[in-house]
Chain A
Amino acid sequence: MFLTIISESFKQNMRRKLLAIITVGLAAALVTTLLSLVVGVGDKMAGEMKSYGSNIRVVPRSDTINLNVGGVEYNPLEGRDYLEEDQLSTIKEIFWSNNIVGITPFLKVPVFLEGATSHQSNAPYKLNFIGTYFDHVIPIEADASYRSGAKITHKYWRIKGAWPLDDKTDQVLIGEALARAIKANIGDKLALIIDNPSLSSAEKQKNAATLVTVSGIVSTGEAEDDAIIGSLAMAQQLSGLQGKVQSISVSALTIPENELSMKALKDEDSLSPKEYDTWYCSAFVSAIVHQIEEAMPNASAKAVWQVTSGEGAVIQKLQTLLLVITCAAFISASLGISSLMNTTIMERAKEIGLLKALGASNWKVYSIFWSEALIIGAVGGLLGLLLGAGMAYEVGRMAFSSPLILEPIILPLVVVLSILTALIGVILPTRAIASLQPVEVLYGR
């Protein structure tokens, strides 16, 4: 009986019901895509951002003693203390070695560029030569052919041209800004002279220039844009610091910090033995930092917090935005349903009046329209889900170059939200039912 009334209503108003289903369906499709993004964006972007730079920076212990002289940070030992190149392997041999994704050493050497002068004066062009590993063997106990370097820890460097080959020590990357300033191009040869203030100008003159070849132009958005990046061996040779490195970037897979790790961060000694063990055996960045320092007593390791907290904030803002759009989609769908249902109810006023005259209570009449909304919501939601899954797949492929696969939780969520949308859409129109007087509609007054 009840079913007959409902199915008849669908038959009579096929066009309008289809329109309502399409309205809900489109909203559901949009929402499926957005929710997939909200869920997926966390994982995908965290993964993507992970490839942005290393999480841990290792420097000589003395480097961390900062003196503040007249507001200027001043470290008298800066640049004079170094780490040993052959210590690199110990980082890959700590408890969490499997979570260490990459290790890249750096050695910064001030140099002059022969044949180029700065804008302001006729003084020779001064810049930094940064020596590093691009993709270099770091022999470790478990794997003598383990390779690491900037190619792994600094994936976000954008290279025009090619990465230098580690065995061709004269190949370099040139920072984008520097390349523009001196009009250097891929394949150019540059002559570098060590900038050592302790040498007299005569001695400098005597010091033969070292020739390097530009293999690519790098843009990082940071200090490297004004520098030349070459092999660590070349930097060591230029500076005479054989076997030395200045800092080490470590990329590590870590789990999010929690109360325990925060407590450890404040004061490791405050942990109970059991807490200490739990912390030590969890891949918290603080635990990994601790283990690196254990392995390299002369070094100080620091988590690069700015990046970590920054990525969290960006993802959160993005997710909030997506949720706002999701709500907007459902609200507009509700309004659409509302107007369609309103028309339906006006058209069927006489029938509703009759039902009321026969003694139907308001909620029994509402239930006709609620059921219709339920069907519209469910059918629209399911269709939208199909469409949205396809859209999410495509969006994922375009934005993250790997398709977004629907999280199972999204399926019931979208269907329930669609049904709610349709139900909310009929709330306003059904209020008209309550105020509808059977005498007025039955007698056409």
Chain B
Amino acid sequence: MLEVAVQAQTSAAQTAPVQSDQKVIEVQGLCRYFGSVKALDNADFSISKGEFVAIMGPSGSGKTTLLNILSCLDSPTAGQYYLDGVEVSQLEEQKRAVIRREKIGLVFQQFHLIPYLSAVENVMLAQHYHSVPDKAEALQMLETIGLGDRATHLPSQLSGGEQQRVCIARALINDCAIILADEPTGNLDEENERLVISLLKELNAQGRTIAMVTHNPELGMVADRIIKVRYGHIESEGLDDA
């Protein structure tokens, strides 16, 4: 397969990705209309367990809309979304909240950290709504992403890259199998971008399924596969060097 070739180009490729044919995410005829705007139109694709997928496409093509549906933040106007084989698109809000905290780690382009909570507290927040906060575990997670010494700092005292890493730590703390990231490096310089990507790569190597929206073709190259979106349509589901 082509993915293998891409992985060979990356440093993280040494660790063989745990992939299987088991489909973690599968959408069929997915549509999301905002009034007359067809942000997503009849999208079909699937993501297998352990895959690292990049979602790419021009601005306004519907990437964020797609990711929001995948992360159960939004419901499609039509179509099916199977998460771990279960149709979840029309679940009521409280059930989707359960899925969000149990299965999905979210990484936002805008970080969305709570300004008055320290780095470690922001991580613990996810623990709090998942089960119980465990400070030691949260500190360990910050250590892992290289922010062990900034744990008590407020988001305003951290750089953009550091904030993004806190956001990733928060997405990881509950050990979710799926990580959905919307332009995780959109606000970062190259240095920090590389840091974040290698982090994601590592997580993927540990067996997590990752879908990442990006504009950066180089980052697309890092992924196993690229899902190309244009005008709400899925244009191709394979590797693209665009």
Interface residues of A (CB under 8 A from B): 1-2, 4-5, 8, 11-12, 350-351, 354-362, 364, 434, 437-439, 442-443
Contacts and interface: CB of A to CB of B under 8 A. Distances in A.
A4 B170 CA distance: 17
A439 B73 contact: yes
Contact of A1 (B68, B108, B121): B121
| Main DSSP-derived SS at the B contact region | helix
Given A356-B97, A359-B98, A442-B108, A2 B128 contact: yes
Given A4-B121, A442-B112, A358 B126 contact: yes
B74 interface: yes
A10 to B, nearest CB: 11
B77 interface: no
A354 B114 contact: yes
Interface string B105-126: 0101010101011000100111
Contacts of A354: 112, 114
Interface in B13-58: none
B242 to A, nearest CB: 26
Interface string B48-84: 0000000000000000100010010110000000000
Contacts of A2: 128
A358 B108 contact: no
A357 B121 contact: no
A351 B116 CA distance: 11
Most-contacted residue by chain A among B114, B133, B170 (CB, 10 A): B114
A357 B106 contact: yes
A18 to B, nearest CB: 19
Nearest to A353: B112
Contacts of B130: 359
Nearest to B71: A357
Contacts of B112: 350, 354, 357, 442
B114 A359 contact: no
Given A1-B128, A12-B116, A442-B108, A358 B101 contact: yes
The 4 A-B residue pairs whose C-beta atoms are closest, nearest first, are: A359-B101, A359-B100, A360-B129, A8-B116
Interface string B150-191: 000000000000000000001000000000000000000000
16 contacts: A4-B117, A8-B117, A355-B125, A356-B97, A357-B106, A357-B112, A358-B100, A359-B97, A359-B98, A359-B99, A359-B126, A360-B101, A361-B94, A361-B97, A361-B129, A439-B68
Contacts of A1: 121, 124-125, 128, 133
Most-contacted residue by chain B among A8, A11, A358 (CB, 10 A): A358
Contacts of B3: none
A439 B129 contact: no
B90 to A, nearest CB: 15
Contacts of A12: 116
Nearest to B126: A358
A360 B170 CA distance: 14
Nearest to B117: A4
Contacts of A351: 114
Contacts of B237: none
A359 B73 contact: no
Contact of B73 (A11, A357, A362): A357
Nearest to B128: A1
B102 interface: yes
Contacts of A439: 68, 73-74
A351 to B, nearest CB: 6
Nearest to A441: B112
Contacts of B116: 4, 8, 11-12
Contacts of B126: 358-359
B109 to A, nearest CB: 10
Contacts of B71: 357
Contacts of B170: 358
B73 A358 contact: no
A24 B133 CA distance: 33
A8 B122 CA distance: 14
Most-contacted residue by chain A among B71, B112, B133 (CB, 10 A): B112
Contacts of A437: 73-74
Given A8-B116, A361-B129, A434-B93, 17 more contacts: A1-B124, A1-B133, A11-B116, A354-B112, A355-B125, A357-B106, A358-B106, A358-B125, A358-B170, A359-B97, A359-B100, A359-B102, A359-B130, A437-B73, A439-B73, A442-B108, A442-B112
A358 B107 CA distance: 10
